[in-house]
Chain A
Amino acid sequence: MTKEKREEKVLRCIQQSPGGVAWKRLCRNPMARFGGFLFLAILTACLIGPLLSSQDFATQDLARGAEPPSWEHWLGTDELGRDLLERVLTGGRISIGVGFAATFVALLMGVSYGALAGYCGRRIDTLMMRFVDVVYALPFTMLVVVLTVTFDRKSIFLIFLAIGAVEWLTMARIVRAQARSLRTLSYVEAARASGASHWRILRDHLLPNLLGAVIVYSTLTIPAVILLESILSFLGLGVQPPQSSWGTLINEGADKLDIYPWLLIGPAALFSLTIFSLNFLGDGLRDALDPRETHR
């Protein structure tokens, strides 16, 4: 088989599978393509950038604190004379990592919980939703403080746990509302009448239709999680100095906005670019996965 032929075959296989169709649609969407490339570029910069640089994110030069951007320090220096670009890039590793992992946890919990509650309906739904009310009302600050003393506070899982504990709730409510409206739709009822198992209905009919809302909400959750991380580090959980994260950098920069604007602009710009790219990607993904958009 020649090379071209093999590629053609692979291509055809991809085109035929539903995932492949979505992928093709995603690639056709210019904004999604742009978002994807941008995100990859940022990720690469965060992972490789600090390795290439001669400076270290923790190296200080107290006499040269808070200098505006220059050739030597592209984003300027912070008040201890550390290179801000280095700090933003190394902080990006943590923030992107925490953002994705915690959102994934929230997603997993929220979607399965919400879908189950919405699909089961009646008593179970009521019970499950009242539980959501309870967790929603608990004081987050106290929850985190107690978490830090009960468990090893250096554990990264604690961060996911703490963030997941709040972020899955809204997800569960949204998914549950969607699932409730979907379960009464004719094709779900038809599937049920034809004797399909609950699990099958959930998997084949409900979850694919929930994807749109879930993706949109996930792209909203990632920035929320990244910023929430700075609250956790206030309470002594999470990233410890001299390591930085976008949340803490932005939080500190915002206070000094009128004197050292670059302390906010650098981190906020990279954070915003990341969120933009993820949103474009997310919107493209939503459109690409929409089962009803096939006949367009």
Chain B
Amino acid sequence: MLTGVFSYRRILKYISCLLLVAFCACSKHQTNVERGNENGELYLGIGAEPAALDPHLTTGLTEYSVMLALLEGLTTLNPETMAVEAGVARSWAISDDQLRYTFYFDPEACWSNGDRVTPQDFIFSFERILSPALGAPYAYMLYPMRGAEAFHRGKNPDFASVGVSAPDARTLVIELESPTPYFLSMLAHNTWWPVHPPTILAHGSMTDRISKWTKPGNFVGNGPFMLKHWRLNNGIHAVRNRHYREHSEVALNGLHFLPIAVKSEERAFRAGHLHLTSSVPIHRIDWYRENQPEQLRFDTALGVYYYMLNTERRPLNEPKVRQALAYAIDREQLTEHVLKAGQKPAFHFTPPNTGGYHAKARLPFDPDLARQRLAEAGYPGGKGFPKLQLLFNTSESHRTLAVAIQAMWKKELGIEIELHNQEWKAYLATRQSGDFDILRAAWYGDYDDPNTFLSLGESENGNNHTNWHDPRYDALLAEAARETNPEARHALFQEAEEILIDALPVIPIYFYVTSRLIHPSVKGWYPSILDNHPYQAVRLEP
């Protein structure tokens, strides 16, 4: 019935109309890379939207990578060698007892509105981040400064007691609690950076968290670039700051930070819409390795991926069981076939070459020994072993790794592990409550020193959720904190690491690597373990 209403010719007409509309709209545009190379603007993928651009409130690497363009501390790090270089301070003097640092300001150092950067700005900034009312998560980074901890913890509400002063308009003096060898490199961290006091006060009080000062138009910074445009999930555009102290040395005219989801970044790069990505999907690594190795960049990162064991739960309270689990993992197989980006298998906890320290302790991969340990613990061949649960936060890579390890434990030890994933916040809550058997975890070093890793095993450490404590271990780390001789200090760390690798409250799996795709026209982007890439050094050479 009713044939002829929709004749085939009519359908054909209809479809061709649709196609016509589609084709009219489709016209090729210049790619971002082409446009960027013409205008001297760099397009970077940053993987996620930064939570904030306030140097005193942020904690993440994403935020750091954006703020690095907008602000600058007393010192900077050389992009290639990571050596300490001049920043706002052109030079400095250190007292003989290493407790008093005097910084002489660069007269050219200016805010993006033309104001001179003054020592008073830094004092204001230190007071701001240390004020308990601000609730700055990383305020403890300033604790080496005399009186900072007491002020931050509210024990001494008078900021004048903190060891910072400005004898004149171009000099800043910082006094320390104790000699701190890495103090100058610490100053390059965003917690030590200044904010522009009049801008902060124009949008609220000094300690207001909910403030609009970081919005484009409001933001006043002292970095090589200034904030031009910011739209959530769309991008941040920063342009050359004409008032920057070394303005003529900066090669780029602008930066575009694009929070493209990690899954889509590679496609954007392939189509020429990004100069740099924040990561490379695992399944794409082999392809680039074979076809365009020059666009692939791996940097060792200061981070370890590990499994945390709840040592209060049976049978994980038995060290032999923990050893069995740790010895049965074939880490080289994992790094080669599952992770693929050149990660190093972790046979100890502290990443190699952390502050010049190389751990000597070694975990074996020895299935026979692992089976033996399991049998000694009373579970020969995995018989009678309870079904433990391995918890990870939802992510394909964590899952793939967990599935691979689950199979290794089953094959080598004959035990069944149940996998369980939770979304990030639920995972954090579970971790905090301690309601887990085995938990995936990771740690990125805050600074380049073994202490940032090994302190995780201390009884009192807030990030030690394993319930494991060893007074000997705590004593060793306490001693290391007092020791000023680097060699003796490292020896203490070696001893502590031996204890950790023998007791195994944590099972290290691998050491992180940052992988990126980089367009050949980008020059001056050097490897960096702290993922610190100052944009002053970056050039575009099409």
Binding site for B on A (CB under 8 A): 58-60, 62-63, 65-66, 79-81, 145, 148-149, 233-236, 240-242, 252, 255-256, 259-260
Contacts and interface: CB of A to CB of B under 8 A. Distances in A.
A252 B397 CA distance: 11
Contact of B333 (A58, A62, A260): A62
A80 B399 contact: no
Nearest to A62: B337
A60 B284 CA distance: 21
B406 interface: yes
Contacts of A235: 394, 422-423
A148 B336 CA distance: 35
Identify which of A59, A63, A241 gathers the most chain B CB atoms within 10 Å of its CB.
A241
Interface string B259-301: 0000100000000000000000111100100000000000000
A66 B407 contact: no
B421 A148 contact: no
Contact of A236 (B263, B334, B337, B394): B394
Contacts of B422: 148, 235-236
B478 interface: no
Given A240-B420, A242-B403, A79 B338 contact: yes
Nearest to B411: A60
Contacts of A145: 423, 426
Contacts of A240: 418-421
A201 B410 CA distance: 60
A60 B418 contact: no
A242 B407 contact: yes
B338 A80 contact: yes
A281 B418 CA distance: 38
A249 B263 CA distance: 16
Given A62-B404, A80-B407, A235-B423, 7 more contacts: A80-B400, A81-B337, A233-B421, A234-B394, A234-B421, A236-B423, A241-B419
A241 B426 contact: no
Interface of B: 263, 281-284, 287, 333-334, 336-338, 394, 396, 399-400, 402-404, 406-407, 418-423, 426
Contacts of A65: 337-338
A142 to B, nearest CB: 11
B283 A79 contact: yes
Contacts of A81: 337
B338 A58 contact: no
A184 B420 CA distance: 53
A155 to B, nearest CB: 14
Contact of B283 (A149, A242, A259): A259
B426 to A, nearest CB: 6
A236 B420 contact: yes
Contacts of B334: 62
Contacts of B396: 252
Contact of B337 (A58, A59, A63, A234): A63
A234 B418 CA distance: 16
Contacts of B423: 145, 234-236
Contacts of A79: 282-283, 338, 400
Contacts of A260: 283
Nearest to B401: A80
25 contacts: A59-B407, A60-B403, A60-B404, A62-B404, A63-B333, A63-B337, A65-B337, A79-B282, A80-B400, A80-B403, A80-B404, A234-B394, A235-B422, A236-B421, A236-B422, A236-B423, A236-B426, A240-B419, A240-B421, A241-B402, A242-B407, A242-B419, A252-B396, A255-B283, A259-B287
Given A236-B421, A255-B263, A255-B281, A62 B394 contact: no
> Which 4 A-B pairs give the minimum distances between C-beta atoms?
A62-B337, A236-B422, A256-B283, A60-B407
Contacts of A255: 263, 281, 283
A259 B285 CA distance: 10
B338 A149 contact: no
A235 B423 CA distance: 5
A62 B338 contact: yes
Contacts of A149: 426
Nearest to A144: B423
Best-buried of B283, B419, B421, B423 by chain A (most CB within 10 Å)? B283
A236 to B, nearest CB: 4
Nearest to B264: A255
Contacts of A252: 396
Contacts of A80: 338, 400, 403-404, 407
A254 B423 CA distance: 21
A99 to B, nearest CB: 22
B2 to A, nearest CB: 15
A246 B421 CA distance: 18
Contacts of A236: 394, 420-423, 426
A295 to B, nearest CB: 14
A242 B404 CA distance: 9
Nearest to B393: A236
Contact of B407 (A58, A148, A256): A58
A218 B160 CA distance: 72
A256 B420 CA distance: 24
B417 to A, nearest CB: 10
Contacts of B418: 240
A252 B283 CA distance: 11
A59 B410 CA distance: 10
Identify the interface centre among B333, B337, B394: most chain A CB within 10 Å of its CB.
B337
B403 A259 contact: no
B400 to A, nearest CB: 7
Contacts of A66: 283
B321 to A, nearest CB: 22
A274 B73 CA distance: 62
Contacts of A63: 333, 337
Nearest to A240: B419
A255 B402 CA distance: 20
Contacts of B394: 234-236
Contacts of B283: 66, 79, 255-256, 259-260
Contacts of B338: 62, 65, 79-80
Nearest to B418: A240
A290 B438 CA distance: 57
A180 B301 CA distance: 65
Contacts of B281: 255-256
A170 to B, nearest CB: 26
B337 A242 contact: no
A263 to B, nearest CB: 9
Contacts of B419: 240-242
A235 B406 CA distance: 21
Nearest to A81: B337
Nearest to B402: A241
Contacts of A62: 333-334, 336-338, 404
Given A79-B338, A236-B394, A148 B426 contact: yes
